[in-house]
């Protein structure tokens, strides 16, 4: 029903824009990753794989990447542990308050990311809310130092920030779950626990996969929370990239790390799509 001219008119402008401002920059990043920096701090446009070799050879790079993945894995786990039961509660037990509670999960996303991260600093600091309360309750004599400037602080803050992202897709799948299946399971004599584990949970797996992907990928690439709250032991891979593009001035090596992250993200997306298709109901 739509003419060729119509299709061209809606396709061409976004296609060109995306090619210029998304595809070209990614390709450029790929090119940069094969270049190097001379002693006089200029980019040398000679092609070799030294940067990738360095990533494998120098332990600080792959160790930081592994540590970032470990932090992201913990954030993902905690976000799911917090988000899933909440989504289940809203979808099955909240009754008329459902919409209001749903909005209440979204609202924290409207508060500046930076400021929420900073608020955790006020809470976790040595004269902060947490330490004062603990000392007041005589649970500790001296302020607990590990609360701030540690991987713990980074995991806690990122969990706070990405829990709503894990919650959203889980809630969406639970809401789309046909209620007559739940009723049928009950009518056929299953206990609530059996209904949950045999009917509801398997059908909600696509949402869990989507939520986990969001939480993992977004926390993996984070560099602001580690800078604010991480201290030296909480440094993540993106912090190394930031310093390579800044003070350390080694764009090509930074580009190589970024390109590896890009590949990692895209393969995770493809993998989670596969998983979702496999488990999806219909």
- Tell whether residue 184 is a contact of another protein (CB under 8 A): no
- In sequence order, the β-bridge partners of residue 36 are 44
> Which residue among 24, 44, 49, 58 contacts another protein (CB under 8 A)?
24
> Which residue among 181, 186, 231, 279 contacts another protein (CB under 8 A)?
186
**Cβ neighbours for 204, distance < 8 A, ≥ 6 positions apart:** 84, 170, 173, 174, 177
> Which residue among 58, 183, 201, 233 contacts another protein (CB under 8 A)?
183
- Tell whether residue 232 is a contact of another protein (CB under 8 A): no
**Quick count: other Cβ atoms within 10 Å of Cβ 193?**
8
- In sequence order, the β-bridge partners of residue 44 are 36
- Tell whether residue 119 is a contact of another protein (CB under 8 A): yes
Stretch binding another protein (CB under 8 A), from 46-54, 57-65, 141-149, 170-178: 170-178
Stretch binding another protein (CB under 8 A), from 51-59, 117-125, 139-147: 117-125
- Tell whether residue 133 is a contact of another protein (CB under 8 A): yes
Smallest gap from residue 103 Cβ to another protein (A) = 7
- Tell whether residue 266 is a contact of another protein (CB under 8 A): yes
> Which residue among 75, 155, 212, 220 contacts another protein (CB under 8 A)?
220
- Tell whether residue 18 is a contact of another protein (CB under 8 A): yes
Alpha carbons 156 and 148: distance in angstroms, whole number: 10
Smallest gap from residue 196 Cβ to another protein (A) = 8
Q: What is the dihedral of CA 57, 53, 264, 215, to 10 degrees?
A: 40
Smallest gap from residue 198 Cβ to another protein (A) = 14
Nearer of residues 115 and 139 to another protein, judged by Cβ: 115
- Tell whether residue 111 is a contact of another protein (CB under 8 A): yes
- Tell whether residue 194 is a contact of another protein (CB under 8 A): no
- Tell whether residue 250 is a contact of another protein (CB under 8 A): no
Stretch binding another protein (CB under 8 A), from 47-55, 57-65, 140-148, 182-190: 182-190
Half-sphere exposure of 194 (CA within 13 A, CB side): 9
The length of the chain in residues reads 282
- Tell whether residue 262 is a contact of another protein (CB under 8 A): yes
- Tell whether residue 263 is a contact of another protein (CB under 8 A): no
- Tell whether residue 223 is a contact of another protein (CB under 8 A): yes
C-beta separation of 78 from 155 below 8 A: yes
Q: What are the backbone angles phi and psi of residue 174, rounded to the nearest 5°?
A: -65, -35
- Tell whether residue 182 is a contact of another protein (CB under 8 A): yes
DSSP 42: -
Alpha carbons 218 and 269: distance in angstroms, whole number: 12
> Which residue among 64, 80, 214, 234 contacts another protein (CB under 8 A)?
214
> Which residue's entry shows tokens 């459902």?
98
| Burial of residue 46 (number of CB atoms within 10 Å: 0-12, 13-18, 19+) | exposed
> Which residue among 148, 251, 253, 256 contacts another protein (CB under 8 A)?
251
Alpha carbons 274 and 54: distance in angstroms, whole number: 33
DSSP 126-146: TTSHHHHHHHHTTS-SS--GG
Q: Strand, coil or helix: what is 221? A: coil
């Amino acid at each position: 029903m739509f003419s060729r001219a119509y299709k061209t008119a809606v396709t061409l402008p976004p296609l060109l824009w995306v090619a210029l401002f998304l595809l070209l920059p990614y390709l450029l990043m790929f090119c940069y990753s094969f270049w190097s920096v001379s002693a006089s701090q200029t980019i040398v446009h000679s092609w070799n794989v030294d940067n990738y070799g360095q990533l494998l050879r120098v332990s600080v790079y792959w160790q930081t990447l592994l540590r970032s993945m470990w932090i992201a894995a913990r954030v993902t786990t905690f976000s799911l542990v917090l988000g899933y039961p909440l989504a289940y509660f809203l979808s099955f037990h909240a009754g008329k308050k459902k919409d209001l509670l749903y909005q209440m999960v979204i609202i924290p996303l409207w508060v500046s990311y930076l400021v929420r991260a900073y608020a955790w600093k006020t809470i976790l600091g040595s004269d902060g809310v947490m330490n004062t309360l603990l000392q007041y309750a005589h649970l500790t004599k001296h302020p607990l130092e590990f609360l701030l400037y540690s991987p713990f602080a980074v995991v806690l803050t990122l969990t706070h920030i990405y829990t709503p992202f894990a919650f959203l897709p889980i809630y969406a799948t639970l809401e789309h779950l046909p209620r007559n299946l739940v009723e049928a399971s009950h009518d056929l004599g299953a206990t609530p626990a059996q209904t949950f584990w045999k009917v509801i949970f398997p059908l909600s797996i696509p949402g869990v996969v989507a939520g986990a992907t969001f939480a993992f990928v977004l926390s993996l690439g984070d560099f602001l929370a580690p800078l604010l709250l991480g201290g030296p032991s909480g440094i993540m891979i993106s912090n190394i990239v930031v310093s390579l593009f800044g003070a350390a001035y080694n764009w090509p090596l930074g580009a190589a790390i970024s390109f590896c992250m890009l590949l990692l993200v895209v393969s995770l997306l493809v993998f989670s799509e596969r998983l979702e298709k496999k488990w999806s109901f219909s």
